[in-house]
Structure 1
Amino acid sequence: MQTLVVERSEGVVTVVMSRPEKKNAADPTMWRELAETFTAVAANPDDRVLVLTGAGGDFCSGADLAGMSDDALAYMANAGEAARALHALAVPTIAKVDGVAVGAGWNLALGCDLVVATDRARFSQIFVRRALSVDMGGSWLLPKLVGIQKAKELAFFGDMLSAADAAALGLVTRIVSPAELDATVDSMATRLAHGPAQALSLTKQLLDAAAEGGSMELALRREGHAQANNINGVDAKEAKAAFLERRDAVFYRPAEIAGAEPASVG
């Protein structure tokens, strides 16, 4: 890896975008390495949670404009593959944000399930200031998260938002001090990694599918399919045994889940 640092510990995969001299602006190599890394996580049953962050006190300042080639369409296809691979992950994902998260960098963070930011983090759909339009899935994510009018305001003006401003819009899950960031995200990621992996994955799939539309009837059918998978799975049996034996359930068993096929909501 030329632009990323990838670390694994007890089911938690931490992906660090590491171009601190550019505030972790993404060049073509980083887009490719992000897509490859997300795809590898999807294929590894021992990877149960993904944390995405940046080196040097910033999350990501967007695309490195100096790294754009003359073939703009090919460049965007490369970047878009990273966004698609992140969105496709069935495991919980956490964006750990300090400093700037702007442009494509902010939309990478919004592509995660949870966003934990420091109180000094700053966010912007900065594209318009560069005479560019929204990318990295922002045109799809923003209206779903904040509604169409607020999405247009964010994209039309490209104003810089504080972490508190972003949280007020529902775009930040939790705000902490810089000193608390590592411990907070570590705690959240560890809880998720040691939780019932299939149930968490199916819950994510159910919520994502509902956010994309459909009826209550369709949601109920999906829920039934998902719950049947859970009831027949090893985690539900362990949860029941733990309840009857009055002990904590143990869901994190790397050796036992190796090679397991992920369940689907249908």
Structure 2
Amino acid sequence: MSDTVLQDFNDGVLTLTLNRPAKKNAFNTEQWLALADAFDQARENDDVGVVVMTGAGNDFSSGQDLGELAAGRPEGESPYRVLERSMIAFDKPLISAAKGIAVGGGATTLFFSDILYVGESLRMRLPFVSLGMAPEFASSFLLQQNIGAQRAAELMLTAEWINADKALEFGIARAKFSDEELLVKAQEKAAEMAQWPVNGLRETKKCLMVWRQAHIAATLAQEHEAMTKQAGSPENVEAIMAFIEKRKPDFKNLKKTK
């Protein structure tokens, strides 16, 4: 079991905690795969009725660890896609508790939550255009489905920061709490659900999800195509190097592609 994802089980509720707080819980390969494995195990374990997902320390997750990415992309399938499949297949209630930074994959993973609670310190961002990239985790569908096309376009095409109040106003989050009480509130709601039969919870979630499955599949196909096209592109390289060198990226003189 990887220590990048902590697991705590209590009376039907499994709490999964992203555990790289010194890196703002940025996803490296180990953590992508560890979280995917945790969801797969929770899906198969009939003692688990509900999962709560959160982050250690002051943040949920700052997304992909760009330092690892700059050192070289892994051979074969991108590890984030393994987590995509696991979260799509997860057929039990998922409640997330996010505070502090929630950026990139640290935001899009949250869109798979059946209920999202946020702390008052939340700072969420969908930075894909600023990185010369495209969305992931079917977020370009899931966000629209939750908040509407215009609001989703505004957030994705500007890469603006989203605080807790805006997340609540737009319908990204169900409720806002103080950072100190956030996880407790999420676990209390999970316990309300976990008192019921696991199969009832599972079948009800399947009913809630069935109409979205075809849309998610189509969106993922488009996102994967776009991600493959953009990963390692001149603008993507410039964005990553600017981040590492702590400077503002310069996209003006890069070759335009169609």
Q: What TM-score do you get using the length of structure 1 for normalisation?
A: 0.75
- What are the equivalent positions in structure 2 for 1:1-266 lying under 5 Å apart? 1-68=2-69, 70-71=72-73, 74=76, 76=78, 78-212=79-213
Structure 2: any 5+ residue segments left out of the alignment?
216-258
CA distance in structure 1 between the partners assigned to 2:25 and 2:77 by the alignment: 17
Matched-pair contact (CA < 8 Å) for 2:21–2:57: yes
8 Å CA contact retained: 2:48, 2:198 = no
1:227 maps to: none
Output one character per residue of 1:50-89: Cα deviation in whole Å (capped at 9) or x when no partner: 111101110011110111264467353x101112212211
Q: Deviations over 1:145-167 (max 9, x none)?
A: 22333222211111001111111
Evaluate the alpha carbon distance shift between residue 181 and residue 71 of structure 1 in structure 2; reply closer, same or farther with a 3 A threshold: closer
Greater relative contact order (CA < 8 Å, ≥ 6 in sequence): 2
**Bigger CA radius of gyration:** 1
1:173-209 Cα deviation digits (max 9, x unpaired): 1111122213211211111111232222222111111
Task: Give the whole-Å Cα distance in 2 for the aligned partners of 1:9 and 1:90.
Answer: 19
TM-score (norm 2): 0.77
Structure 1 unmatched runs, 5+: 215-266
1:25 touches 1:60 (CA, 8 Å); kept in 2?
yes
User: Helix, strand or coil: the match of 1:190?
Assistant: helix
Q: Is the 8 A contact 1:34 1:82 kept in 2?
A: yes
- Following the alignment from structure 2 to structure 1, what is the Cα–Cα distance between the partners of residues 137 and 131? 15
CA contact (8 A) 1:2 1:29 kept: no
Hey, what's the Cα distance between the residues in 2 that align with 1:211 and 1:151? 17
User: Match of 1:74, SS?
Assistant: coil
Partners of 2:180 and 2:41 in 1: CA distance: 31
The question of whether the paired residues in 2 share the 8 Å contact of 1:48 and 1:91 is answered with yes
1:202-229 deviation line (CA, Å, top 9, x unaligned): 2211111134579xxxxxxxxxxxxxxx
Identity %: 29
Aligned equivalents of 1:61, 1:201: Cα separation in 2: 30
Check the 8 A contact 1:124/1:158 in 2, yes or no.
Answer: yes
Superposed displacement of residue 134, structure 1: 1.2
**Paired positions, count:** 213
Q: Which amino acid aligns with 1:5?
A: L
CA distance in 1, matches of 2:43, 2:213: 21
Q: Distance in 1 between matches of 2:156 and 2:116?
A: 19
**Residue 144 of structure 1: how far off its partner (Å):** 1.9
The AA in structure 2 aligned to 1:119 is E
Match of 2:250 in 1: none
In structure 1, C-alpha distance between the alignment counterparts of 2:137 and 2:6, rounded to whole Å: 21
Distance 1:211 1:32 in 2: 25
Q: Retained in 2: the 8 A contact 1:17–1:53?
A: yes
Report runs of 4+ in structure 1 exceeding 4 Å deviation: none
